[in-house]
């Protein structure tokens, strides 16, 4: 194997086009502009922005981009296709739109599989080659940098290598600046990709890139194989977005190449931005980032087993393959029934709590007992912090709950939404006994409203706390309606978000426990803000 450590690999991002084809993603023009800013901040070499002329959104993007985007590291690329079969380049709308898009670089896709030329295009192999060469020559005559995406290359190379190489040779002679080998169906395996890329690199005198899909789960592995075969450009998307099972994930391939293989990709000082960009783009496309995503996921450097945590406390590299901060992530110590003293001690230190000796043992024991009952603290950090504070002697100073009651009246049994829910709550604030009754859209909302009504604005910090999600899971389904229920409540104060948990055989009690922890944690944060101020 040739030494690749001294090489440089270009990163070509196609999130705005290929990534946007993922089911469930619908980007506005503003979304695309913001994502492009993030990609430039990360330092990718090329940003494929869309297909001018294909839809109004892409047309608007290319109109607005010159005035609204200031790219410092990335080159904007317009994407299109070759001329039509038996068509003329100077009257082809697709090529005209590419020229009018205003970018200095364009990328066109053309058939590289004889089966597609003969069956999909219904034309001859000679015409298939001519469509590619004519289009590239035309775009080069307009002083454009031209990348050629060889569609279905790997399938075509396995079927008829002579024709596939003939297409690439024609593209090279026509002046293509990059030949990008595409695994359009995503069905190739790493050994097939490496050997095919090596054959092309030996055959043509033009830089070669790879564009891999993830249908076999090998998108990133195939990209690594392509680089080993001599590719100097990798095309992919942030977080692996893309049609069907997605594209090669750039948030994985970039650190794989840079940190594992010593190959320069994006500027080295920008690698620490990787996690932030991954999460920012996930927010913009409105899709939760996979917590187990390599390098950038929230669980990528999370440690749950006590043995692992104990070792990490002594040597951080004992159970982490790279330094988390090298990609902008961080080590997390997850609390569960697997936790030992080391885990709890490190978590306490992380929270700024002084817990040691018998208190530490009590936290461990209570944690394991509650997890056995159905609690799941690794997904409820706020409840975990409150638990640790309570065991160490902390008592919340704001109010004490005497009792609560929830009544549900079905006023219209034959109609949906006919149930009226009312909550009564009795609390003590100092020497004052406060009672309030409130109606709500279900028991959680009614209880929340009743408590806030009883407190009557005594704690302004509560005004910022809002529930954002509510999840229920039945733990022991064999008990039917008598099963234990776990409730998770997600909340935010506008600055931070947190999750709390409640477990009970009574779903209302489980909901109340999670809700109460949520409000108490919000007050704790508000108190910390006041102290900082």
Confidence label for 195 from pLDDT (cuts 50, 70 and 90): very high
Check whether 350 has a pLDDT greater than 90: no
Q: Which domains does the chain have, with CATH numbers?
A: 10-285 (3.20.20.70), 302-391 (no CATH), 400-532 (3.30.160.270)
Whole-angstrom distance, CA of residue 327 vs CA of residue 311: 22
- Please tell me the predicted confidence (pLDDT) of residue 321: 84
**Mean pLDDT to the nearest integer, 479-485:** 75
Average pLDDT rounded to a whole number, residues 203-209: 96
Q: What is the pLDDT of residues 460-478, one digit of tens each?
A: 999 999 988 888 888 876 6
What is the model's pLDDT at position 234?
A: 98
Sign, Cα dihedral of 376, 377, 382, 388: positive
Q: Give CA separation, 355 vs 313, 382, 394, in Å.
A: 16, 17, 12
What percentage of residues in the chain have a pLDDT greater than 70? 91
Kind of pairing, strands 466-474 and 10-13?
unpaired
Place of tokens 């600055």: 495
Residues sharing a CB contact under 8 Å with residue 396, sequence separation 6 or more, in sequence order: 520, 523, 524
Q: Are 38 and 74 in contact, with CB atoms under 8 Å apart?
A: no
pLDDT at 1 over 50: no
Residue 504 has pLDDT above 70, yes or no: yes
3-state secondary structure at position 436:
strand
Chain segment 243-256, per-residue pLDDT in tens: 999 999 999 999 99
pLDDT of residue 4 exceeding 70, the answer is: no
Average per-residue pLDDT for the chain: 89
Residue predicted with more confidence, 309 or 283? 283
pLDDT tens digits, 25-72: 989 999 999 999 999 999 999 999 999 999 999 999 999 999 999 999
Share of the chain above pLDDT 90, in %: 65
Q: Which residue has the higher pLDDT, 366 or 155?
A: 155
Structure tokens belonging to residue 486: 């776990």
Residue 11: φ, ψ to 5°: -110, 120
For the stretch 290-339, pLDDT in tens is 888 999 987 787 776 555 555 555 566 667 888 888 898 877 666 554 55
pTM reported for the whole predicted model:
0.71
pLDDT in tens, 101-140: 999 999 999 999 989 999 988 999 999 999 999 999 999 9
Q: Can you give the pLDDT at residue 305?
A: 55
pLDDT for the residue 520: 96
| DSSP at 319 | S
* Rounded Cα distance, 339 and 303, in Å: 9
């Amino acid at each position: 194997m040739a030494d690749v450590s001294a090489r440089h690999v270009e990163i070509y991002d196609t999130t705005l086009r290929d990534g946007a084809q993922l089911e469930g993603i619908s980007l506005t023009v503003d979304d695309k502009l913001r994502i492009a800013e993030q990609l430039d901040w990360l330092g990718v070499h090329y940003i494929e922005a869309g297909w001018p002329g294909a839809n109004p959104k892409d047309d608007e993007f290319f109109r607005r981009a010159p005035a609204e985007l200031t790219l410092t590291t990335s080159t904007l690329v317009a994407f299109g296709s070759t001329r039509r079969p038996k068509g003329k380049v100077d009257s082809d709308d697709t090529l005209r739109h590419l020229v009018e898009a205003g970018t200095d670089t364009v990328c066109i896709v053309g058939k590289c599989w004889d089966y597609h030329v003969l069956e999909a295009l219904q034309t001859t192999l000679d015409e298939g080659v001519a469509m590619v060469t004519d289009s590239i020559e035309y775009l080069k005559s307009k002083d454009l940098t031209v990348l050629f995406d060889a569609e279905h290359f790997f399938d075509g190379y396995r079927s008829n290598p002579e024709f596939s190489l003939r297409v690439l040779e024609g593209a090279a002679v026509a002046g293509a600046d990059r030949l990008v080998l595409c695994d359009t169906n995503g069905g190739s395996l790493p050994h097939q990709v490496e050997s095919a890329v090596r054959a092309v690199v030996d055959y043509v005198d033009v830089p070669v890139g790879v564009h891999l899909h993830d249908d076999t789960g090998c998108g990133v592995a195939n990209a690594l194989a392509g680089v080993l075969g001599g590719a100097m450009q990798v095309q992919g998307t942030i977080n692996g977005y893309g049609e069907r099972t997605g594209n090669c994930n750039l948030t994985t391939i970039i650190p794989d190449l840079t940190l594992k293989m010593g190959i320069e990709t994006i500027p080295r000082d920008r690698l620490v931005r990787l996690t932030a960009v991954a999460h920012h783009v996930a927010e913009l496309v409105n899709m939760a980032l996979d917590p187990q995503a390599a390098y950038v996921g929230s669980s990528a450097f999370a440690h749950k087993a006590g043995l692992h945590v104990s070792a990490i406390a002594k040597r951080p590299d004992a159970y982490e393959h790279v330094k988390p901060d090298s990609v902008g992530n961080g080590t997390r110590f997850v609390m569960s029934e697997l936790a030992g003293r080391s885990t709890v001690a490190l978590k306490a230190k992380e929270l700024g709590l002084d817990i040691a000796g018998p208190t530490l043992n009590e936290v461990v024991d209570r944690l394991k007992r509650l997890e056995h009952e159905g609690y799941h603290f690794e997904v409820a950090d706020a409840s975990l912090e409150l638990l640790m504070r309570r065991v160490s002697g902390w008592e919340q100073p704001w109010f004490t709950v005497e009792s609560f009651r929830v009544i549900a009246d079905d006023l219209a049994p034959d109609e949906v939404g006919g149930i009226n829910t009312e909550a009564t709550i009795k609390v003590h604030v100092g020497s004052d006994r406060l009672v309030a009754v409130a109606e709500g859209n279900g028991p959680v909302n009614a209880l929340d409203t009743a408590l806030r009504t009883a407190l009557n604005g005594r704690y302004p910090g509560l005004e910022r706390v809002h529930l954002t999600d509510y999840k229920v899971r039945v733990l022991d389904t064999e008990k039917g309606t008598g099963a234990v229920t776990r409730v998770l409540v997600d909340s935010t104060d506008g600055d931070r978000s947190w999750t709390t948990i409640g477990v009970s055989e009574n779903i209302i009690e489980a909901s109340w426990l999670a809700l109460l922890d949520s409000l108490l944690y919000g007050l704790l944060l508000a108190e910390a803000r006041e102290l900082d101020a």
